[in-house]
C-alpha cells in the first residue's frame, strides 16, 4: 500500500573500491526480509595490444553458471544501487591521467544476477525502469576519451589522446567546467541490462567471436575472448569458478540474444524493456548507469558515467519468446524524454566516404563518423577544442539517425544537435564569434 | 505583396513520358516573364550485372557542365513540378511486373538545374522547403521492392523478388489496399536536392568510386561509373554533350560534397537546408518526391514515390562555406513532423551479427538490417507477409537510430515503429491474433 | 482504388460575391454523378447597437428545416470548397476601412448542409479532417480587429479601432507585411463544423439565449436573437422559409449540443471529430476556414481567415450518443501539429483582477484577457504597436491554458507564445532593442 | 566544483507536525556555514461559513514584514525541504474523514522567506527549478475532494462530499488503489512560489479583495480577509507580529503582482520562472509541492499533494521589471514534460451553458466546468464513480485549453485527457465494457 519507502535491494559503500564491497542485505517491497549475498563483480575489460593478460575480466551477465545474488518476486518494485562502470577509478579533478591509465580489467561492474521468481527459459522478462538517480552524496559524473592504446574510441585514429570532462548534476540538468556554455537535462538510463545466456548461447558467442578474431586483420582489437585466469565469479568457487572463467563471454558488447551493453540512450525512466530469458530464474543484471548519452556513445567511455540507484519492476511474460517471436530485446521508450521540437536540431549529414577520401560501400558506421566530424568542425568555430566537442557529442542528447541506406555506394547518416543546450546561439547564420571555452581535462605527457 | 498565386517555375504534362516533356515556361514570382528551356533529364540508372550498357544515364545534378534550365532570384519563392523518379514507369495496378522489369536507365528524373542569381563557388545555398504536394489529379504513389537482379535492395538476399504497394493519398494521410490496416500522415519531402559539383569534385568522385569498383569483390554491384553513350544532357549538344557523358557521375548515391540523393525523410515541409555551392549560379536541382519514407528507405524504391510540386525559397549566404566551415550539407528540420510521443514507438534492437550467425566488426549497416528483420518477424505474427512488412518499413515513418557504436565487436542500432499508424493494437502483450491481410502486388513468374 | 483525383463536392467562383454563387454540381468519390442544388448561404451576423436590423442573418447550421444541399455516403472521402467567412468583404490592401465598415449581416457563410446516408438522430457523425488547403490562386488571408461599434472583440474596451493584417501564404508558412519579423506554419482548420439541431434543441437555444438577453445589463450586446426578415434559407421558400427565419438561431456562438462555431485551433488536419446527430441525414455543414489561429481567437475576426478547400471523410457511428454518453462534441487532434518543445514557449500569467484593478471572482475570461495584455506589454518593447500584437495573438499558434481555477478569488490562466516564430530573439534576457516594425493596416478617420 | 552533495537549506522532520518543526540549519552550496532560524509557518486557511475564526492564518509569502528565514547568494543552487501543504493532516488510509474534517486554518505551509543577496525592488528574481522530488521515505501523496462546507471545489455543487485518493510513487510514475487502471508520470512542481509584496501592494490587495467581499452576493465565500488573531509570523514578535497579523493577505489565491499560489502544472523541473521583486532581499518563499496536477486543479486539494525537496537556483536580474515591462510573472517551461503526441489526447468541449441550462455570457470558468463534466460522463461508462473521475481530473496531466473566447455568448474551452495513462483502451469506438473499479476513499456519515 505504499506506506513505506521502496526498499533498496543492493547497497553500495561509496568509500570502498568496488571489489571490496561488503555483503549486502536485501529487502523485498512487501517487508519480508531476505538475507542474501550480493556482491559486485568485476565483469569485463578491454585488453589493449601490449597489456599483460593478468586480472582477467569476469562475466556476471554473460555466464549461465554464476550463482544468483538475490531473489525478486514477479511484479516486485525494488531499487538497486550501482557503482559507476569503472568502479570508481575516475576522479573529480582536472587531469585525464586516470582515464589514460585506467585498468580496463576492472570495469563493467554490474549489480546482480537477480533470480526472478517463476522465470523459465522461453519466457520474456518485462523490465519497467521506474527511475534512475545519481546518489545524493555524489552529484557528479564523468565522460572520458580513452587513449588509443588503452581502450580507444570511435574517433581514436584522429583523436588518440586521453581526455576527460567532469559533469556537475544540478537537479535534472548537468553542466561541466570542462565543456562550458552547455547545459542539458539528463536522459538518465542504464547502459547495461540483460539476462544471462544459456550454455548453448554462450558457446555460440564464443564460436562466432573467436572466428572474427581469427579471420580479421584490422590492426586493432576487434573482439575479446574469455579469460580463464583470476576469475571473479560472484559467490562461485572451486570447479564452478574455474568453469565460469573458461567459458564466460566478455561483457563489452551488447549481443542480439540478450541485449547487455547496448548503450541505448532511450532506455530511460519510464521505458519498458522486453528481454529474452534463457536460464531458470532469468539471472537479470544491471549497471553502467548513465546520466546522459548521445546516440553512439562515441568516445567509448562516452556517456556521463555515474554511480547511482535504479528503481525497477520485473515481470515475467510466460512463453513470451514464442508469443512475440522474439530473438532480440524490444522496448517501448518512456514518455518523459527531453523534447525540443524538430526544428531545434541542427543536423549534420555524413556519408560513407572516410576522412582520407576513401569510398566505402554502404557503411553506416563510416557515415556516422563523418557526421560527427562535420559537427566537430562546425563547433570548433566557436572556440571549443576538438576534444571538447568529442566529449560533448558522446554524452549530450544528440540524435543519430539513419538517412538512406540503399543508394550505392554511399550510406547517409545524420547527427542532430539540439541547439537549446547551448547558452549562446549556434544557428548557422554566418561567421562564428569565438568564446573563451577553457579546456577539458587532458593527460600529462 | 502576395496578391496572386505563387508561380510554378516548372510544369509537367502527366500524360507524356518524362523524356517527352515539352519545353517549359517559367515565370518568376514578381510577374516578370522568363522564357526558358526547361526539360527533364533522365539522370541515372543502376546497371545490373547482366544488363547491356546501352541507354546510359545522365547527370543533371552531377555535372558542372549541363546548361541551366531556368533562373531564379535570390530570395524568390517559386514552385517546381516534378515527375516521379521512375518517370512514370510504375502503374496503379495489382501486378509488380512493372517493378520487376523497370528500365533502370530511365530513372532519377530531376527538375533543374536552376541558376540562382548571385551564387558563387564558396557560397552556401539556403533552401527553404515551403511545401511539397502531390498533384491533385494523381492522388497516389507507389513503393517497390526491386528484383535482386534488377536493382535489388537492403534485404535482397532474403527477399529477392519484385513486389509493389500502391498508396492512396487521403489528404495528409495515405493507406494501401496492398498493406491493409495501416494509415499514416506523410512526412512529405524530396529524396534528392543539391547543387552541381565543380570539375575538380567530379574528378574526385570518379577517382574514389572507380577505386572502390576495382578493389571490391562482393559479388554485387557496389557503384556505377559514368556512361558515355546516349547521353541526355539537358540542352547541351555536340562536344559539350559528349564531355558531360564521359565525365558525369551517377545520381544514385548522395555524396558528401553536395548532398544529392540523400533520402533523408526529415527534409520535409518547413525544413531549411544549407548546401555547398561549387559552380557559378549554383546549378540547383531537385526531384524524387516522396510522400513518406522510413529511415533507410530500405527497399531502394522504398519511399512512397510520387509526382508532385515543391514550393521553394532559395537564398544565397555569401562565403557561407568558409564561415560555417561546411564540407557537407547541414539542415534544420521543420516544426510540423508527425509526432506520436516517444512511448508510442515499439523499438527493435539490431546487432552486427548477421542472419547467418556471422559476427561483423562494428557494422551499423548489418545491425540496422537485423533490426528490420526483427520487426518483420514481429509483424508477421498478425498475418502480414514478409514482403508487406518490407514495403511498410521502407515507407512508413519508422525511426532508425544509432544505439551504441563503440562496444566491440557489436554495433547496436534500433528501429522504432510508431504503433499509432495501425488500426489494431500491436503492443507486445502476448500471442498475436491473425487478421486477413490480403497481399501486396507481386510479379508474375 | 485511388486511380483518380478526389472529387470536389462544392465549387466556389472566387470572382463572384458569396451570395451570387451559382448552383453547384457534386460528384461522389465513386464517380456517380449527383446533380444537386448547392448554394452558400449568408448565415449570421452580429447586430451592433446602432445598426438597423435589415438584412438579417440566416441559419444553415442552426435550423433543422433548411433543405439539404448535397448527399454523401457513409465513409466517403470528398472535398468541399468554402468562401472566407466574410464572403469576400475584406481586401488584400493596406487600409482597414473594409474591416471597420464590414456588413455583419453578410458573414458566416458555410457550405452545406450535407445529407449523410444512414444518419439518424442519436447517431454520432465521425468527421475525419483529411486536409485543409487555401486556394492555389488566392494564397493569402486576413486577420481583423473589429471596430468596437461594429463587431468588437476580446480587448475592444482598450483597443476600440479597426485594424487589419494581410498574411501571405508561403507553402505551409505565412508572414505579413503588417506584422513583420514573424513567420509560422499554419495549424489550418475549419472554425465551424457541426450538424443541425432538432426543433427541440433549437427551441431550447432560443429560450436560454433570450433569457440572457433579457436579464443582462452589460452595456453591450450579449447574444443575438433570431431575425425573421429577409431570410436566406438555402433552397427553402414560402412558408418553410418563413419558419426558418422565425426560429433559426444565429451561427455566431458554438453551442454545446452540436459544436458549431467553436474556433478550436486543434481541429486541424488529421483530427477526428465526433459530433452528435439530431436530425435525419445529420445536416452537416462546414466553413469559416482558418489558416491559423491562437487559442481564444481574441480579435473576433482573429484567425487568419481564408477561402479554400477541405477534404473530409464522414462516417456514422450508430447509436453513438448513447454508447459514448455524448452531450457535446469530442475530438482527437491530428498527429501533425507544429511542435516547438515546451521550453520554447514564453508564458505569461494572467489573474482575474482586471486592468482597472477590479477583483473578479474566479473569472477565467478576465484572467485570460490579463495574460494577453501582459504579452502585449512585453512585445511592445521591441517596437510592435499594440494593435500589431493584438492581431498577432489572435492568429499565431499561442497556447491558452488553464492554470489554477480553485484558489479563491483568483483564476489563473496562462498564455504561451512560441519564441521560434520570430526571426529575432524574444527571450527575457534584459532590455529590448527596438526594431523597425512598420504598421498594421488601420482605418481612415 | 560539484565535489560534494548539494546542501539542503531547509530540513524537515517528518515525524513532527508542521508547527513543531525545530529550528533549522542552512548551509550554502559553497560550504560556508550559515546558521539561521528557519521555521515553517502556517500561512493561510479557508474559513468556511460556520467555522469559528480561531487559529487564523499567517502570511509568510504575503507580508512584507515577516523576517527572513535564511539567506542565499545570487546564483546559488540549494535544496529546500517542504512539508505537504496541509502540514501532514492527511493520512495514507482508506477513509476521507481526515479530508472532511481538515483544519483549514493549518494549511499552506511554505518554506522561506529567503533573502536573496543583492535583490532590490524593481529587480526580477529568476528561479530555475532544477529538480523536485518526494522524500525517499514517504513515497506517496494524496488528492482530496473537500466537503462543500469545509473548503469546497470546482464541482462542489454537484459533488458536495469529501473523497480522497492515495497515490503510490513508483519512481517517476504514480498509481492509486483508489482510482485503478491508471498510471502516469508526474509533472512534478511547486504549487506556490513567489516574493513578498511591498506595503503598497499589500494595501491594494486588501482594498480590492475586501471590495469584492462586500459587493458580492454569491451565497459562498468569495475571498478571505486578513485575520489578526493568533498570528504566526515566523520569528516576528511583539508589535511587528501584531502588524503582520492585521495586514497580511491570505495565501490562498495567486495574485498578479507576485504569482504565489498559481498552481500551474508546467512550473516543473527545468522551468525558469521570472518573478517581480517588491522588497529588499526579495523574500522568496516556496511550497505546496505537487507530484502531478491537471490544468485547473479542480478539486481544490486536487494535485497529488506531497512532502518533498525542491532544488533551486535563484538569480537576480537587475532592473528587470522595467527592462521586461513586467507586471506579473513570466516563465519558460522545462524541456522534459511527459509527451504523448497530440492525437493521444481525447478532448472534450465545454461551453458557457451550465448544467442547469442557464446561458452565461462568455464565461470561460463555466465552460471549463462543463468540459470536466463531459469527461466524467464519458469515463463513468467504464465503471469509475464520478468521485473517482473528479479526483483523477484534478491530478492527472489533463490539458485545459482555451478554444474560442469571442463568439457571443458562448465561451468554448477544451479538456484533453491523455489516453495512454490508462491500462485499457478508452478511445471512442462504441459502448464501454465495465471494469471492476473499486472505490475511492469516502468520508463516514
Kindly report, residue by residue over C213-245, the tens digit of the pLDDT: 999 888 888 888 876 655 555 566 778 777 777
Judged by average pLDDT, the poorest of A381-390, B409-418, C121-130, D55-64 is D55-64
CB contact under 8 A, D270 and C208: no
Cα distance from A163 to chain C (closest Cα, Å)?
32
Judged by average pLDDT, the poorest of A92-101, A341-350, B210-219, C356-365 is B210-219
Name the segment(s) of chain D with CATH classification 3.10.28.20. 342-442
Total length of chain B: 445
CB contact under 8 A, D349 and C256: yes
Please spell the DSSP secondary structure of B271-323, one letter per residue.
-EEEEE--STTEEEEEEEEES---TB-TTEEEEEE--EEEEEEEEEETTHHHH
Name the segment(s) of chain C with CATH classification 2.60.120.580. 8-330
Q: pLDDT at residue A113 above 50?
A: yes
Q: How many CA atoms lie within 13 A of C94 on its CB side?
A: 7
CA nearest B351 in A: which residue? A256
Query: Given CB atoms, is C359 within the 8 Å cutoff of chain D?
Result: yes
A130 with A345: CB under 8 angstroms?
no
CB contact under 8 A, C365 and D411: yes
> Which residue in D299, D364, D426 has the most chain C C-beta atoms within 10 A of its own C-beta, making it the best mutation to test that interface?
D364
Q: What is the per-residue pLDDT for B362? A: 95
Q: What is the largest CA-CA distance in chain B?
A: 67
Q: Where are the alpha helices (H) located in D131-287, listed in sequence order?
A: 199-215, 238-247
* CA separation, residue B417 to residues B46, B204, B354, B440, D364 (Å): 30, 39, 21, 20, 40
Cell 493507406 identifies what position? B175
CB contact under 8 A, A420 and C339: no
Tell which wins on pLDDT, B49 or B171: B171
> Which residue in C172, C337, C340, C429 has the most chain A C-beta atoms within 10 A of its own C-beta, making it the best mutation to test that interface?
C340
| Mean pLDDT, rounded, for A120-143 | 94
Residue B173 CA to residue B423 CA, distance in Å, equals 13
Tell which wins on pLDDT, A230 or D278: D278
**Residues of chain A found within 8 Å of residue B217, distances taken between Cβ atoms:** none
Neighbours of chain A (3+ CB pairs under 8 A): B, C, D
Q: What is the CATH number of domain C8-330?
A: 2.60.120.580
Q: Please name the residues between 399 and 428 in chain B that touch chain D, using a CB distance below 8 Å.
A: 420, 425
Residue A408 CA to residue A401 CA, distance in Å, equals 18
Judged by average pLDDT, the poorest of B130-134, B139-143, C61-65, D220-224 is C61-65
Query: Given CB atoms, is D344 within the 8 Å cutoff of chain B?
Result: yes
Residue D340 CA to residue B344 CA, distance in Å, equals 8
Name the segment(s) of chain D with CATH classification 2.60.120.580. 8-332
Cis peptide before A152 (omega within 30 of 0): no
Cell 502531390 identifies what position? B134
Of C2, C171, C340, the CB nearest to B168: C2
Judged by average pLDDT, the poorest of B100-109, B380-389, C331-340, D418-427 is B100-109
Query: Given CB atoms, is C342 within the 8 Å cutoff of chain A?
Result: yes
Kindly report, residue by residue over A40-52, the tens digit of the pLDDT: 222 232 222 222 2
Q: What is the per-residue pLDDT for C283? A: 93
Residue C154 CA to residue C157 CA, distance in Å, equals 8
A-D interface: how many C-beta pairs under 8 angstroms?
108
Q: What is the per-residue pLDDT for D173? A: 96
CB contact under 8 A, D172 and A337: no
Which residues, in sequence order, are CB contacts of B242 under 8 Å at separation 6+?
B228, B231
Judged by average pLDDT, the poorest of A121-125, A309-313, C46-50, D156-160 is C46-50
Cα distance from B66 to chain A (closest Cα, Å)?
23
CB contact under 8 A, C223 and D359: yes
CB contact under 8 A, C130 and B173: yes
Which cell numbers in the block locate residue B445? Answer: 513468374
* CA separation, residue C60 to residues C23, C73, C127 (Å): 16, 20, 18
> Which residue in B339, B340, B341 has the most chain D C-beta atoms within 10 A of its own C-beta, making it the best mutation to test that interface?
B341
Q: pLDDT at residue A7 above 60?
A: no
Q: What is the per-residue pLDDT for B12? A: 58
Of C252, C323, C407, the CB nearest to D408: C252
Residue B302 CA to residue B294 CA, distance in Å, equals 8
CB contact under 8 A, C344 and A342: no
Q: pLDDT at residue A335 above 70?
A: yes
Neighbours of chain C (3+ CB pairs under 8 A): A, B, D
CB contact under 8 A, A362 and B361: no
- The correct CATH number of C342-425 out of 3.40.605.10, 3.10.28.20, 3.90.180.10, 3.90.580.10 is 3.10.28.20
Nearest to A127 by CA among A139, A138, A114, A144: A114
Q: How would you write chain A as a 3-class SS string? A: CCCCCCCEEECCCCCCCHHHCCCCEEECCCCCEEECCCCEECCECCCCCCCCCCCCCCCCCCCCCCCCCEEECCCCEEEEEECCCCCCCCCCCCECHHHHCCCCCCECCEEEEEEECCCCCCCEEEEEEEEEEECCCCCEEEEEECCCCCCCCCCCCCCCCCEEEEEEEECCEEECCCCCCECEECCCEEEEEEECCCHHHHHHHHHHHHHHHHHCCCCCCCCCCCCCCCCCCCCCCHHHHHHHHHHCCCCCCEECCCEECCCCCCCCCCCEEEEECCCCCEEEEEEEEECCCCCECCCEEEEEECCEEEEEEEEEECCHHHHCCCCCCEEECCCCCCCCCHHHEEEEEEECECCCCCECCCCHHHHHHHHHHHHHHHHHCCCCCHHHHHHHHHHCCCEEEECECCCCCCCEEEEEEEHHHECCCCCCCCCCCCCCCCCCEECCC
Q: What is the per-residue pLDDT for C316? A: 98
Q: How confident is the model at residue A175 (pLDDT cuts 50, 70, 90)?
A: very high
Query: Given CB atoms, is D349 within the 8 Å cutoff of chain C?
Result: yes
A-B interface: how many C-beta pairs under 8 angstroms?
328
Query: Given CB atoms, is B374 within the 8 Å cutoff of chain D?
Result: no
Q: What is the per-residue pLDDT for C218? A: 82
Q: Please name the residues between 262 and 301 in chain B that touch chain C, using a CB distance below 8 Å.
A: 269-270
Q: What is the per-residue pLDDT for C250? A: 79
Q: How confident is the model at residue B30 (pLDDT cuts 50, 70, 90)?
A: very low
Q: What is the per-residue pLDDT for B6? A: 58
Q: How confident is the model at residue C44 (pLDDT cuts 50, 70, 90)?
A: very low
Cα distance from D238 to chain C (closest Cα, Å)?
31
**Residues of chain D found within 8 Å of residue C274, distances taken between Cβ atoms:** 428
| Mean pLDDT, rounded, for C56-76 | 72
Q: pLDDT at residue A78 above 80?
A: yes
Residue D239 CA to residue D246 CA, distance in Å, equals 11
Of D341, D420, D425, the CB nearest to B339: D341
**Main-chain phi, psi angles of A56, to 5 degrees:** -70, 165
Residue A408 CA to residue A231 CA, distance in Å, equals 47
CB contact under 8 A, B339 and D344: no
Kindly report, residue by residue over C6-17, the tens digit of the pLDDT: 555 555 565 655
Q: Characterize the bridge pairing of strands A140-145 and B345-351.
A: unpaired
Q: How many CA atoms lie within 13 A of A15 on its CB side?
A: 0
Neighbours of chain D (3+ CB pairs under 8 A): A, B, C
Please spell the DSSP secondary structure of C235-270, one letter per residue.
T--HHHHHHHHHHPPPSSSEETTTEES---TT--TT
Q: pLDDT at residue B25 above 50?
A: no
Residue A180 CA to residue A172 CA, distance in Å, equals 17
Which cell numbers in the block locate residue B41? Answer: 533529364
Q: How many CA atoms lie within 13 A of C361 on its CB side?
A: 17
C279 with C122: CB under 8 angstroms?
no
Tell which wins on pLDDT, D390 or B238: D390
Neighbours of chain B (3+ CB pairs under 8 A): A, C, D
Give me the percent of chain A exceeding a pLDDT of 90.
65
| ipTM field | 0.89
**D67 class by beta-carbon count within 10 Å (0-12 exposed, 13-18 middle, 19+ buried):** middle
Q: What is the per-residue pLDDT for D31? A: 28
Cell 555460440 identifies what position? A204
Residue A7 CA to residue D136 CA, distance in Å, equals 10
Buried-state track B113-140, b at ≥16 Cβ within 10 A, e below 16: bbbbeebeeebbbbbbbbbbbbbbebbb
**Main-chain phi, psi angles of C129, to 5 degrees:** -90, 100
| Mean pLDDT, rounded, for C341-366 | 96
Nearest to C135 by CA among C253, C308, C16: C308
Q: How confident is the model at residue C60 (pLDDT cuts 50, 70, 90)?
A: low
- Residue D50's CB: how many other CB atoms inside 10 A? 7
**Residues of chain D found within 8 Å of residue C431, distances taken between Cβ atoms:** 323
Q: What is the per-residue pLDDT for A413? A: 97
CB contact under 8 A, B263 and A407: yes
CA D260 to chain centre: 9
Which cell numbers in the block locate residue D171? Answer: 519512481
**pTM, whole model, 2 decimals?**
0.90
B283 with B110: CB under 8 angstroms?
no
Cα distance from B413 to chain A (closest Cα, Å)?
9
Q: How confident is the model at residue B45 (pLDDT cuts 50, 70, 90)?
A: very low
Of B311, B313, B340, the CB nearest to C335: B340
Kindly report, residue by residue over A202-216, the tens digit of the pLDDT: 999 999 999 999 998
Residue B307 CA to residue B110 CA, distance in Å, equals 11
CB contact under 8 A, A264 and B349: yes
CA nearest C309 in B: which residue? B171
CB contact under 8 A, A425 and C420: no
3-class secondary structure, B106 = coil
Query: Given CB atoms, is A173 within the 8 Å cutoff of chain C?
Result: no
- Tell me the fold of A8-332: Jelly Rolls (2.60.120)
Q: Which 8-state DSSP code applies to residue C122?
A: T
3-state helix, strand, coil in chain D (%, to 5): 15, 30, 55
Q: What is the per-residue pLDDT for A229? A: 59
Residue D172 CA to residue D186 CA, distance in Å, equals 6
Query: Given CB atoms, is D334 within the 8 Å cutoff of chain A?
Result: yes
Residue C27 CA to residue C23 CA, distance in Å, equals 14
CB contact under 8 A, B344 and D420: yes
CB contact under 8 A, C410 and D211: no
Kindly report, residue by residue over D300-334, the tens digit of the pLDDT: 899 999 999 999 999 999 999 999 999 999 999 99
Cα distance from C72 to chain B (closest Cα, Å)?
16
Which cell numbers in the block locate residue B33? Answer: 516573364
- Enclosing H/E stretch for B414: strand B412-418
Of A92, A130, A170, the CB nearest to D170: A130
* Mean pLDDT taken over chain C: 84
Which cell numbers in the block locate residue B387? Answer: 514482403
CB contact under 8 A, A344 and C425: no
**Residues of chain C found within 8 Å of residue A343, distances taken between Cβ atoms:** 340, 420
Q: pLDDT at residue B83 above 90?
A: no
Q: Which 8-state DSSP code applies to residue D169?
A: E
- Tell me the fold of D342-442: Endonuclease I-creI (3.10.28)
Q: What is the per-residue pLDDT for D236? A: 65
* Mean pLDDT taken over chain A: 84
Name residues of chain D where pLDDT drops below 70.
1-62, 227-236
Which residues, in sequence order, are CB contacts of D365 under 8 Å at separation 6+?
C362, C363, C364, C365, C405, C411
Helix axes C386-395, C364-380, angle to 10 degrees: 130
Amino acid at each position: 500500500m505504499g506506506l513505506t519507502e521502496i526498499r533498496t535491494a543492493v547497497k553500495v559503500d561509496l568509500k570502498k573500491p568496488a571489489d571490496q564491497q561488503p555483503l549486502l542485505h536485501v529487502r523485498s517491497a512487501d517487508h519480508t526480509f531476505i538475507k542474501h549475498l550480493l556482491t559486485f563483480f568485476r565483469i569485463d575489460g578491454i585488453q589493449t595490444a601490449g597489456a599483460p593478460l593478468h586480472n582477467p575480466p569476469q562475466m556476471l551477465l554473460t555466464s549461465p553458471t554464476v550463482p544468483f545474488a538475490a531473489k525478486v518476486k514477479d511484479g516486485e518494485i525494488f531499487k538497486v544501487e550501482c557503482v559507476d562502470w569503472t568502479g570508481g577509478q575516475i576522479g573529480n579533478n582536472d587531469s585525464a591521467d586516470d582515464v589514460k591509465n585506467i585498468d580496463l580489467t576492472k570495469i563493467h561492474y554490474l549489480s546482480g544476477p537477480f533470480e526472478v521468481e517463476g522465470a523459465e527459459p522461453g519466457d520474456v522478462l518485462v523490465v519497467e525502469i521506474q527511475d534512475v538517480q545519481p546518489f545524493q552524496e555524489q552529484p557528479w559524473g564523468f565522460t572520458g576519451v580513452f587513449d588509443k592504446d588503452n581502450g580507444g574510441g570511435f574517433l581514436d585514429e584522429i583523436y588518440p589522446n586521453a581526455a576527460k570532462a567532469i559533469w556537475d548534476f544540478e537537479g535534472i540538468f548537468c553542466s561541466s567546467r570542462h565543456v562550458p556554455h552547455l547545459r542539458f537535462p539528463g536522459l538518465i538510463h542504464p547502459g547495461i541490462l540483460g539476462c544471462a545466456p544459456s550454455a548453448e548461447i554462450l558457446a555460440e558467442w564464443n564460436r562466432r567471436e573467436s572466428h572474427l578474431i581469427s579471420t580479421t586483420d584490422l590492426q586493432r582489437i576487434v573482439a575479446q575472448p574469455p579469460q580463464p585466469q583470476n576469475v571473479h565469479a560472484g559467490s562461485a568457487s572451486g570447479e564452478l569458478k574455474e568453469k565460469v572463467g573458461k567459458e564466460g563471454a566478455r561483457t563489452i558488447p551488447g549481443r542480439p540474444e540478450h541485449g547487455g551493453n547496448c548503450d541505448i540512450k532511450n532506455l530511460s525512466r519510464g521505458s519498458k524493456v522486453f528481454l529474452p530469458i534463457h536460464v531458470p530464474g532469468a539471472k537479470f543484471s544491471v549497471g553502467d548507469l548513465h546520466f546522459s548519452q548521445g546516440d553512439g556513445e562515441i568516445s567509448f567511455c562516452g556517456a556521463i558515467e555515474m554511480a547511482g540507484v535504479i528503481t525497477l519492476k520485473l515481470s515475467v511474460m510466460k512463453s513470451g519468446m514464442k508469443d512475440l517471436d522474439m530473438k532480440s530485446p524490444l522496448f517501448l521508450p518512456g514518455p518523459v524524454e527531453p523534447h525540443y521540437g524538430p526544428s531545434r536540431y541542427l543536423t549534420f549529414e555524413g556519408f560513407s566516404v572516410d576522412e582520407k577520401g576513401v569510398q566505402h560501400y554502404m557503411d553506416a558506421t563510416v557515415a556516422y563518423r563523418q557526421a560527427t566530424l562535420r559537427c566537430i568542425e562546425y563547433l570548433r568555430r566557436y572556440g571549443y577544442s576538438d576534444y571538447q566537442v568529442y566529449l560533448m557529442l558522446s554524452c549530450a542528447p544528440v540524435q543519430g539517425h539513419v538517412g538512406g541506406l540503399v543508394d550505392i555506394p554511399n550510406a547517409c547518416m545524420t547527427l542532430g544537435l539540439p541547439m537549446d543546450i547551448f547558452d549562446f546561439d549556434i544557428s548557422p547564420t554566418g561567421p562564428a564569434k569565438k568564446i573563451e571555452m577553457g579546456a577539458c581535462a587532458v593527460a600529462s605527457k
